[in-house]
Structure 1
Amino acid sequence: MLRAHAGAHRQQPKSTGVSSERRFFGQKTAVKFLLYAILLTHLVFTGYPFVWMVISSFKSNKEYFANPWGLPSEWRFDNFAKAWSEGIGGYLFNSLYITLFSVIGLLIVATLIGFYFAARPFKGSGLLLGMFFLGMLIPVHSTLIPLFMISNRIGTYDTFWALFFPYIAFNLPVAVFLSYGFFREVPREIEEAATVDGCGIYQSFFRVYFPLAKPVLATVTIVSFFNIMNDFVFPLVMISKESLKTLPIGLMMFKGNFSADYSLISAALVITTAPILMLYMFLQKYVHKGVVAGSVKG
């Protein structure tokens, strides 16, 4: 009797441990289910409008109003050709031109600054870097009037240069922040080995560090590409020539000219979103690595 009672008493903690383990896994499953439910809800609310826009772009305007939520009875591609011929192609080219050159300039300047601060720290470099990062706190549009006056004074108004330099400047703090965080974590032995092989500081940067920075470069490229391609206010203020107008301005005018042709507007929107989607699909494998690698530790 006593032995049986003692054995049962010794087995009690084991059953308590099993029940605690079951509760833990039950709570973990519930949390996972909740996270998946949130992600699915987010996917529906963000993905469905895009899918609806793509489907609408293949309909005639008559079918769009007759059956706005259904699939097209006949998949029409002439909406894209008409949208392109009505000026969307020119606006897209202007936006891609200024965006590509701005992103290339941004990558070169930001990685050089981040590399120099990480590899060659000097007295007061931390304070200077901190003041540099304060640029992320400045509202971009608060500088619009001063930049307009400067651009008018130096003769860059109504040219792509009026957009090129501001786009680099306003995207520079985040780009330098990510670049500095990445280069700071690169082992110094790599630079020492490059120095032994006869590389100077700039040769080390372009031959060793720059190829290693693909994740950060991809992240900066996607973020800055998205910001510049979708900017509306600066091109509206800095550009007045019809031949130089960018895609957001062109879409506004396009919508005004074809306000009742929703299938044509949908086709124009698909054309405008295609470059950003293709760029993200091409570089997405580097994005997460870039954010993690570019975070500054301690």
Structure 2
Amino acid sequence: MVNRIGFLGVITRVFLWAFLLCLAVVVVYPLLWMVLNGFKTNGEIFGNPFSLPSHWSFDSYQKAWNRGVSNYLTTSVLVTVTSTIATVFVSAWAAYGLTRVNIPFSKLTTGVILGGLMLAPSVALVPLVKMFQAMGLYNSFWALLILYTAFRVPFTTFLIRAYMLDLPREVDEAAEMDGCGRWTAFWRIILPMCKPIITSTVLLHILFAWNEYLFAMVFTSGAGVQTLPVGLMSLMSKHGTEFPVVFAGMAIAAFPVVLLFFAGQRYIVKGLADGVGK
């Protein structure tokens, strides 16, 4: 009986590893195929798309970089970094007020903030376009910064608030006895204690802002303010017959976020498990 259980355990483990290996191939192979096609010619892509390049050359990557990918990459980095800082700071400060400060109508305020999770971005496109045009912010960096921050604050606040609810109240009492004000307690005590969920929300927002397409397409039209998703579509429309250049541009755009995801996936899981999972 013991041997039978041990045999079933080995078989289960073999099937599990085989499944995970197949899943890894399904995820990694398209990325690898995209990178390799950036080294090929049009003839090689259409003639034998699954073969290795006959000649390894970075010409397509250089062309993609010079044809606008460098500008799109700079804009994406700027928008992503600034919107991440703004979103996480505003959300953490809001979560602190909702969980550690006795304010009137706190439950109603929480419901209003979290109600933003139910607002679909596509529903608000027309009034937002009119509003940003009237404010002179349409087709600008500030439009994307405001939109990315506003539409991600409810979700980020929800995550950080769930984590802060489980922090001991004795910490606030000790900080008050030591003469700390609200801002000092938040910045030097509560925020460092929320490092796991802060790290998770930072990574999640980066993944969102880097790949967001709808707002970037509607609210930007100039090459100087377009992010990578919109810029790559423009690259495809202008140089659609040069598929190696298109694949090279896609590979350049995917590399930073893929690297970040694999480097930070452990922190995403840990932060969410320690927060919402409690």
> 2-side partners of 1:119 and 1:28: how far apart?
48
| Matching residue's letter, 1:153 | A
> 2-side partners of 1:25 and 1:102: how far apart?
52
Query: Are the aligned partners of 1:60 and 1:76 in contact in 2 as well (CA < 8 Å)?
Result: no
- 1:219 aligns with 200
TM superposition shift of 1:232: 1.7
> 2-side partners of 1:128 and 1:29: how far apart?
53
> 2-side partners of 1:115 and 1:75: how far apart?
54
> 2-side partners of 1:43 and 1:286: how far apart?
20
**1:241 matches 2:222:** yes
> 1-side partners of 2:275 and 2:250: how far apart?
33
| Local SS of the residue matching 1:185 | coil
| Matching residue's letter, 2:171 | I
TM superposition shift of 1:138: 1.6
| Local SS of the residue matching 2:55 | coil
**1:261 matches 2:242:** yes
> 2-side partners of 1:126 and 1:34: how far apart?
48
- 2:261 aligns with 280
Q: Deviations over 1:49-88 (max 9, x none)?
A: 1111112222233333343212223321222111100111
> 2-side partners of 1:129 and 1:119: how far apart?
13
TM superposition shift of 1:25: 6.2
- 1:53 aligns with 34
TM superposition shift of 1:124: 3.3
Query: Which stretch of structure 1 is more off in the superposition, 120-129 or 238-247?
Result: 120-129
- 1:210 aligns with 191
Equivalent in 131, 146, 159 of residue 140 of structure 2: 159
- 1:232 aligns with 213
- 2:106 aligns with 125
- 2:84 aligns with 103
| Matching residue's letter, 1:42 | L
| Matching residue's letter, 2:143 | A
Equivalent in 119, 133, 143 of residue 138 of structure 1: 119
Q: Deviations over 1:75-125 (max 9, x none)?
A: 212221111001111011111111111111001100111112121244532
> 2-side partners of 1:30 and 1:128: how far apart?
53
| Matching residue's letter, 2:192 | P
Uncovered stretches (5+) of structure 2, i.e. residues with no partner:
none
Identity %: 32
> 1-side partners of 2:256 and 2:104: how far apart?
44
> 1-side partners of 2:213 and 2:153: how far apart?
19
Query: Which stretch of structure 1 is more off in the superposition, 240-249 or 151-160?
Result: 240-249
> 1-side partners of 2:256 and 2:102: how far apart?
39
Q: Normalised by the size of structure 1, how large is the TM-score?
A: 0.85
Q: CA RMSD in A?
A: 2.2
TM superposition shift of 1:260: 2.1
- 1:169 aligns with 150
TM superposition shift of 1:24: 6.4
> 1:61 and 1:156, CA in 2 relative to 1: closer, same or farther beyond 3 A?
same
Uncovered stretches (5+) of structure 1, i.e. residues with no partner:
1-18
